[in-house]
Amino acid sequence: MEQHASDLSNEFKRSSPSGNDEGSQSQPKQSTLPNGLRKSSRKHRDYIKISVPEPKNRLPLEWWKTGIAFVYALFNLVLTTVMITVVHERVPAKETSPPLPDKFFDYVGRVEWAFSISEINGMILVGLWCCQWLFLRYKSIAARRFFFIMGTLYLYRCMTMYVTTLPVPGMHMKCAPKKDEHYIQLRMLRSERYSAKTAEEKKEISQVKQLHGDSQAKLQRILKLISGGGLSITGSHILCGDFLYSGHTVMLTLTYLFIKEYSPSRFWWYHLLCWLLSAVGVVCILLGHEHYTVDVVIAYYITTRLFWWYHTMANIQTLRSSPQNYLTRSWWNPVFWFFEKNVQTRVPCSFSWPISWPPSCFKSSCKNYSMVQNARRQ
Amino acid sequence: MKKVVYWSSEEVSNWLAEEGMPEYTDSFQRLNGEDLLQLTEADFKKPPLSLVSSDNGQQLLNKIETLNIEHHIEAHKNGHANGHLIKGNDGDVGSKAKRNGMPNGFRNEMVQIHMPMPEKSHFPMEWGKTALAFIYALFCFVFTTVMISVVHERVPPKEETPPLPDKFFDIFDRVEWAFSICEINGMILVALWLIQWTLLKYKSIVGRRFFFIVGTLYLYRCITMYITTLPVPGVHFKCSPKLLGDWEAQMRRIIKMIAGGGLSITGSHTMCGDYLYSGHTVILTLTYLFIKEYSPRRFWWYHWICRFLSVVGIFCILLAHDHYTVDVVVAYYITTRLFWWYHTMANQQILKEATNTNFFSRVWWYSAFQYLEQNVSGIVPRNYQLPFPWRATPFSRNVKYTRLDT
């Protein structure tokens, strides 16, 4: 080898560079080694970079999309709060409009402390989901889905709440006084005179219409409701009228569905616990006579359908490109595309520490081998 | 067959000719069976065989080896050839067990090659399943009627509970004749759908789907109607008096309602309380969806007409103050979602299996769905066929091809 070093090893003769331009050359020098074998003591400039095609990341994080989903959810929550305030003014008084007949209420009398249980369960479930979310590896994708689905459910809720106002489900409900006496007057006029109105009556009604409003007080109520999270326990749920459909049921069901979906299937005891919390919470809503049964049933139906619909579309790739996929006819399909177009596969159930810290002793796994990865190695 | 070792040179040449290797006949003139068996590759390298053979004798050697095997099998005729001991007499089992001394795959006689049977139809008719779906729908209709009758007794009287505040009612006042328009539209749509259905080729499959979806929607409606009773939406309602406990009269009322189809026009809709959610909206929406789905895409004008009828009908329900707005909205939502859900599942093979990525399988009616649709593979094509046989008439001879299947 040594004999043929300068001749044969590199298959062609290289004329050694004259002078002192050692630093700029990138061609291999006349070394005693054939192509590819270089003495490790050489500097980096002798290394040749082989470009490897980048493996396409099938689950990009894209935190900015999660940000948009968060803003969407926040917007819908605020809209719901505003809507509750508006609807509150329109709820008929308990005296004029007694609670509607409800089958559950006929059989089961009211239990005073039941609604607190429901809210506590809701808070526990939300807390559990938050903790679980912190440990997920693909936080941004899961959070995006959660915000989008929750936002859409609250949007639907705004619509159903607004179009028709149900009376209070029970005489025990304490509704804050209406700020809008003029609107009450308007409603009374309308309900009394249901048929065609004379010109005089119409004039009266239009005069009354101009008077109603009292935006500042309403704004205060909105802020109070948002800050308390809409819960009775925090004392922020004093407004009535948001009965169809039940937001509490939505949260209880949705957090349970997300907890179950994004946790290992081995943790059956955990799933059972969360299911119990959710079911007991929903039953307690009814026990407390805080919502009609139809509110709870419709809320459950819409939540589960939306969740399953979204996740099936997200998980089964062939559905997305299929022309016979009727799921694309929903109005939120473009938004779905925007969020999920780069997610190529089902989000695997893997966990990692929320902050980078070597997890030498953490051995939780979905399967038999450890799925916990060091965050720094991502 | 005699053993190879006992072959004479004549038999060797005969065999060579049979096997299609006449070039060796000359060289092997004096070779008998034993010599044949002792031929090796080395022999083919030296003349004279190297001059005759083109492939160093490979083919010949292979055939000699085959011969060897055949005779080995023949010699061990107790059935070890096929790897297992075959007991029993000749002729009681099929050709496999016959001891012809040949190894697997070697046969002397004719072999039957099975042709694959013509494929099962992708869209079997299965009228039985359609009948089941029809019975289910009928049951749901009757159940709904019974439920309306029950709920009627619980509706709070108009005087006690005024109509609930509704945004649409605030904006639009009541129009008297609007509900008749809605019902007429509904009847037109149902008639159109019926005519279209009779012209479909795959009537049974489509009929099955329609009955199942309609039945399920009415079943859901029973539930929502029953659990909470909304008050009447307007003081114009004429609710028939309550028949507390009078079962016979209630039964008569139920039959009257079924006979009239639950429509006000026929005078059978005199009971109140069935507000959440609106059955009229369900029928209007569902017939439109089915009409659109199972008619050719070219008929866009037809789709537009039906859509117009449907939308006007729904608007008229509200205009007549016959249902609350939330009834209509919820009915529309549930109808469209169920229709799309069912048809997506039916059209995608991958969704017909209950895997854990397939969340669609978690609905309660999934097993019923599988039963109805398991033999339907693929999307039901929009083929049309006259329900009665069309005899060739003079004017039909001019038609070069037709989109109707005969």
pLDDT, tens only, B222-263: 999 888 888 888 888 878 887 777 778 888 888 888 888 778
Chain B residues touching residue A156 (CB < 8 angstroms): 333
Select the highest-mean-pLDDT range: A10-19, A230-239, A329-338, A363-372.
Answer: A329-338
Calpha distance B385→B399 (Å, rounded): 16
Catalytic residue selected from A88, A182, A289, A291: A291
Chain A residues touching residue B173 (CB < 8 angstroms): 196
Question: HSE of B79 in the Cβ direction (CA atoms, 13 Å)?
Answer: 12
- Is the pLDDT at A7 greater than 60, yes or no? no
pLDDT of residue B305: 93
Could you tell me which chain A residue has the CA closest to the CA of B358?
A312
Kindly state the tokens that stand for A56.
């396409």
Please state at what angle helix A139-163 crosses helix A63-88, rounded to 10 degrees.
20
Could you tell me which chain A residue has the CA closest to the CA of B359?
A308
Contact A159 B329 (CB under 8 A): yes
Catalytic residue selected from B152, B269, B280, B321: B280
Residue A184 and residue A178 in contact, taking contact as beta carbons nearer than 8 Å: yes
pLDDT of residue A182: 54
Cβ neighbours for B33, distance < 8 A, ≥ 6 positions apart: B3, B4, B5, B6, B7, B8, B11, B12
Compute, in degrees rounded to 10, the torsion defined by CA atoms A33, A38, A43, A49: 120
Average pLDDT over residues A10-27: 44
Beta-bridged to residue A102, according to DSSP, are: B228
* Stretch among A132-141, A276-285, B135-144 having the lowest mean pLDDT: A132-141
Selected residue with higher pLDDT from A7 and A310: A310
Calpha distance B335→B349 (Å, rounded): 23
Nearest Cα of chain A lies from the Cα of B230 at a distance, in angstroms, of 6
Cβ neighbours for A33, distance < 8 A, ≥ 6 positions apart: A9, A39
pLDDT of residue B190: 93
Selected residue with higher pLDDT from B277 and B213: B213
Could you tell me which chain B residue has the CA closest to the CA of A197?
B173
Chain A residues touching residue B170 (CB < 8 angstroms): 190
Contact B227 A166 (CB under 8 A): no
Q: Nearest by CB to A163, which of B156, B325, B333?
A: B325
The 3-state DSSP class for residue A136 equals: strand
Average pLDDT over residues A317-346: 81
Selected residue with higher pLDDT from A2 and B223: B223
Residue type, B2: K
Report which of A291, A288, A290, A261 is spatially closest to residue A275, judged by C-alpha positions: A261
Cβ neighbours for A20, distance < 8 A, ≥ 6 positions apart: none
B104 secondary structure, DSSP code: T
Residue A140 and residue A66 in contact, taking contact as beta carbons nearer than 8 Å: yes
Residue B285 and residue B332 in contact, taking contact as beta carbons nearer than 8 Å: yes
Active site residue B269: no
Active site residue B92: no
Contact A326 B340 (CB under 8 A): yes
Could you tell me which chain A residue has the CA closest to the CA of B338?
A305
Reported ipTM: the value is 0.72
Active site residue B321: no
Nearest Cα of chain A lies from the Cα of B330 at a distance, in angstroms, of 8
Q: Nearest by CB to B348, which of A100, A298, A322?
A: A322
Q: Nearest by CB to B167, which of A97, A162, A329?
A: A162
Chain A residues touching residue B379 (CB < 8 angstroms): 324
Contact A293 B227 (CB under 8 A): yes
- Is the pLDDT at B308 greater than 90, yes or no? yes
pLDDT of residue A278: 94
Contact A103 B227 (CB under 8 A): yes
Nearest Cα of chain A lies from the Cα of B340 at a distance, in angstroms, of 5
- Is the pLDDT at B67 greater than 50, yes or no? yes
- Is the pLDDT at A191 greater than 60, yes or no? no
pLDDT digits 0-9 by tens, A215-265: 777 777 778 877 777 777 777 777 888 888 889 999 999 999 999 999 888
Contact B229 A102 (CB under 8 A): yes
Which of B228, B235, B330 is best to mutate for the A interface (most A CBs within 10 A)?
B228
Contact A307 B359 (CB under 8 A): yes
Nearest Cα of chain B lies from the Cα of A239 at a distance, in angstroms, of 16
The confidence band for A155, taking pLDDT boundaries of 50, 70 and 90, is: very high
Residue A122 neighbours by CB distance under 10 Å = 26
Quickly tell me which residue has 């399920």 as its tokens: B216
Could you tell me which chain A residue has the CA closest to the CA of B323?
A164
Selected residue with higher pLDDT from B108 and B184: B184
Contact B161 A98 (CB under 8 A): yes
Residue A40 neighbours by CB distance under 10 Å = 6
Contact B324 A165 (CB under 8 A): no
Contact A190 B235 (CB under 8 A): no
pLDDT digits 0-9 by tens, A117-132: 999 999 999 999 999 9
